[in-house]
Protein backbone atom coordinates (compact mmCIF):
# COMPACT_ATOMS: atom_id res chain seq x y z
CA UNK A 1 0.00 0.00 0.00
CA UNK A 2 1.34 3.40 -0.91
CA UNK A 3 0.21 6.97 -0.44
CA UNK A 4 1.33 10.56 -0.91
CA UNK A 5 4.07 11.95 1.31
CA UNK A 6 3.27 15.66 1.15
CA UNK A 7 6.63 16.67 2.68
CA UNK A 8 8.74 15.11 -0.06
CA UNK A 9 6.03 15.16 -2.76
CA UNK A 10 6.72 11.48 -3.42
CA UNK A 11 4.88 8.21 -3.09
CA UNK A 12 5.68 6.39 0.15
CA UNK A 13 5.04 2.72 0.87
CA UNK A 14 3.30 2.23 4.21
CA UNK A 15 2.47 -1.49 4.22
CA UNK A 16 3.27 -4.60 2.22
CA UNK A 17 2.80 -8.32 1.82
CA UNK A 18 5.72 -10.21 0.29
CA UNK A 19 5.57 -12.88 -2.36
CA UNK A 20 6.82 -16.30 -1.37
CA UNK A 21 8.59 -16.63 -4.71
CA UNK A 22 12.37 -16.73 -4.48
CA UNK A 23 12.52 -14.29 -7.40
CA UNK A 24 10.60 -11.17 -6.42
CA UNK A 25 10.64 -7.42 -6.39
CA UNK A 26 10.20 -5.79 -3.01
CA UNK A 27 10.06 -2.23 -1.75
CA UNK A 28 10.79 -1.57 1.93
CA UNK A 29 8.15 0.15 4.03
CA UNK A 30 9.05 3.83 4.18
CA UNK A 31 10.71 3.78 0.74
CA UNK A 32 9.73 6.69 -1.47
CA UNK A 33 9.41 6.87 -5.24
CA UNK A 34 9.00 9.76 -7.63
CA UNK A 35 5.34 10.25 -8.49
CA UNK A 36 5.83 10.36 -12.26
CA UNK A 37 7.38 6.89 -12.60
CA UNK A 38 5.78 4.61 -10.00
CA UNK A 39 2.40 2.94 -10.33
CA UNK A 40 1.09 4.34 -7.04
CA UNK A 41 2.65 7.72 -7.81
CA UNK A 42 0.90 8.00 -11.16
CA UNK A 43 -2.31 6.89 -9.49
CA UNK A 44 -1.96 9.72 -6.97
CA UNK A 45 -1.27 12.21 -9.75
CA UNK A 46 -4.34 11.02 -11.68
CA UNK A 47 -6.62 11.46 -8.65
CA UNK A 48 -4.97 14.59 -7.24
CA UNK A 49 -4.92 17.25 -9.98
CA UNK A 50 -3.46 19.75 -7.49
CA UNK A 51 -0.40 17.53 -7.02
CA UNK A 52 -0.22 16.70 -10.73
CA UNK A 53 -0.09 20.41 -11.50
CA UNK A 54 2.92 20.83 -9.19
CA UNK A 55 4.76 17.88 -10.73
CA UNK A 56 3.99 18.94 -14.29
CA UNK A 57 5.35 22.43 -13.52
CA UNK A 58 8.72 21.13 -12.35
CA UNK A 59 11.53 22.09 -14.73
CA UNK A 60 12.57 18.49 -15.41
CA UNK A 61 11.28 15.04 -14.51
CA UNK A 62 14.02 12.65 -13.35
CA UNK A 63 14.83 9.79 -15.70
CA UNK A 64 15.48 6.55 -13.79
CA UNK A 65 15.52 4.16 -16.77
CA UNK A 66 15.16 4.43 -20.53
CA UNK A 67 11.44 3.70 -19.99
CA UNK A 68 10.80 6.54 -17.53
CA UNK A 69 8.20 8.93 -18.92
CA UNK A 70 9.77 12.39 -18.79
CA UNK A 71 7.65 14.01 -21.51
CA UNK A 72 5.07 16.04 -19.58
CA UNK A 73 2.43 15.92 -22.33
CA UNK A 74 2.69 12.14 -22.48
CA UNK A 75 2.52 11.93 -18.68
CA UNK A 76 -0.58 14.17 -18.61
CA UNK A 77 -2.21 11.93 -21.23
CA UNK A 78 -1.38 8.83 -19.15
CA UNK A 79 -2.92 10.45 -16.07
CA UNK A 80 -6.20 11.05 -17.93
CA UNK A 81 -6.24 7.38 -19.00
CA UNK A 82 -5.50 6.22 -15.44
CA UNK A 83 -8.32 8.35 -14.05
CA UNK A 84 -10.76 6.86 -16.58
CA UNK A 85 -9.65 3.24 -16.10
CA UNK A 86 -8.91 3.34 -12.37
CA UNK A 87 -5.69 1.38 -12.87
CA UNK A 88 -2.13 2.65 -13.10
CA UNK A 89 0.64 0.65 -14.75
CA UNK A 90 4.38 1.13 -14.97
CA UNK A 91 6.76 -1.18 -16.79
CA UNK A 92 10.45 -0.77 -16.05
CA UNK A 93 10.05 2.96 -15.36
CA UNK A 94 11.50 3.39 -11.87
CA UNK A 95 13.54 0.18 -11.84
CA UNK A 96 14.55 -2.02 -14.77
CA UNK A 97 12.94 -5.43 -14.49
CA UNK A 98 10.11 -4.25 -12.22
CA UNK A 99 6.49 -3.77 -13.24
CA UNK A 100 3.84 -2.24 -11.00
CA UNK A 101 0.09 -1.84 -11.10
CA UNK A 102 -2.05 0.15 -8.65
CA UNK A 103 -5.72 0.87 -7.92
CA UNK A 104 -7.08 3.66 -5.69
CA UNK A 105 -8.37 3.33 -2.15
CA UNK A 106 -11.05 6.03 -2.02
CA UNK A 107 -12.84 7.64 0.91
CA UNK A 108 -16.62 8.21 0.99
CA UNK A 109 -16.18 11.47 -0.95
CA UNK A 110 -14.36 9.64 -3.77
CA UNK A 111 -10.98 11.16 -2.86
CA UNK A 112 -7.86 9.04 -3.02
CA UNK A 113 -6.46 8.10 0.37
CA UNK A 114 -3.91 5.51 -0.76
CA UNK A 115 -3.31 2.96 -3.48
CA UNK A 116 -3.07 -0.81 -3.38
CA UNK A 117 -0.09 -1.94 -5.46
CA UNK A 118 1.07 -5.17 -7.03
CA UNK A 119 4.69 -5.08 -8.14
CA UNK A 120 6.98 -7.81 -9.30
CA UNK A 121 9.48 -8.92 -11.89
CA UNK A 122 8.36 -7.69 -15.31
CA UNK A 123 8.70 -11.14 -16.85
CA UNK A 124 6.15 -12.53 -14.38
CA UNK A 125 3.74 -9.59 -13.99
CA UNK A 126 3.44 -8.41 -17.57
CA UNK A 127 1.86 -11.61 -18.97
CA UNK A 128 -0.63 -11.61 -16.08
CA UNK A 129 -1.73 -7.96 -16.17
CA UNK A 130 -5.41 -8.69 -16.83
CA UNK A 131 -5.60 -11.12 -13.92
CA UNK A 132 -3.68 -8.74 -11.64
CA UNK A 133 -5.95 -5.85 -12.66
CA UNK A 134 -9.05 -7.82 -11.65
CA UNK A 135 -7.53 -8.68 -8.27
CA UNK A 136 -6.46 -5.06 -7.74
CA UNK A 137 -9.94 -3.75 -8.48
CA UNK A 138 -11.45 -6.17 -5.94
CA UNK A 139 -8.85 -5.34 -3.28
CA UNK A 140 -9.19 -1.59 -3.80
CA UNK A 141 -12.99 -1.79 -3.64
CA UNK A 142 -12.84 -3.86 -0.44
CA UNK A 143 -10.35 -1.48 1.18
CA UNK A 144 -12.36 1.55 0.10
CA UNK A 145 -15.52 0.00 1.57
CA UNK A 146 -13.67 -0.83 4.81
CA UNK A 147 -12.13 2.64 5.10
CA UNK A 148 -14.82 4.06 7.41
CA UNK A 149 -14.24 1.15 9.80
CA UNK A 150 -10.45 1.42 9.53
CA UNK A 151 -10.58 5.17 9.77
CA UNK A 152 -8.55 7.61 7.69
CA UNK A 153 -6.76 8.50 10.92
CA UNK A 154 -5.17 5.02 10.93
CA UNK A 155 -3.64 5.72 7.53
CA UNK A 156 -2.46 9.12 8.78
CA UNK A 157 -0.84 7.38 11.76
CA UNK A 158 0.89 4.91 9.43
CA UNK A 159 2.22 7.78 7.30
CA UNK A 160 3.46 9.60 10.41
CA UNK A 161 5.16 6.43 11.71
CA UNK A 162 6.91 5.87 8.38
CA UNK A 163 8.07 9.50 8.38
CA UNK A 164 9.45 9.11 11.93
CA UNK A 165 11.37 5.98 10.91
CA UNK A 166 12.92 7.80 7.95
CA UNK A 167 13.96 10.80 10.07
Q: How far apart are CA 138 and CA 114, in angstroms?
A: 15
154 DSSP 8-state letter: H
Q: How confident is the model at residue 64 (pLDDT cuts 50, 70, 90)?
A: very high
The CB-based long-range contact list for 61-66 (8 Å cut-off, 24+ gap) reads 61/34, 61/36, 61/37, 62/34, 62/36, 62/37, 64/34, 64/37, 64/93, 64/94, 64/95, 65/92, 65/93, 65/94, 65/95, 65/96
pLDDT of residue 78: 97
- Average pLDDT over all residues of the chain: 88
Reported as a single tens digit per residue, the pLDDT across 138-155 is 999 988 888 765 555 566
- Residue 167 above 80 pLDDT? no
Q: How far apart are CA 124 and CA 14, in angstroms?
A: 24
pLDDT of residue 162: 56
Reported as a single tens digit per residue, the pLDDT across 96-138 is 999 999 999 998 888 899 999 999 999 999 999 999 999 999 9
Percent of the chain with pLDDT over 90: 62
Amino acid sequence: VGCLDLQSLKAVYIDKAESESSVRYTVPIGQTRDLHCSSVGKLILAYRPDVAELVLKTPRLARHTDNTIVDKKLLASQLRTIRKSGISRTIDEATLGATGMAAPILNAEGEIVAGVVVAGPTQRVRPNMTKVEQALRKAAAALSAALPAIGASQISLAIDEVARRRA
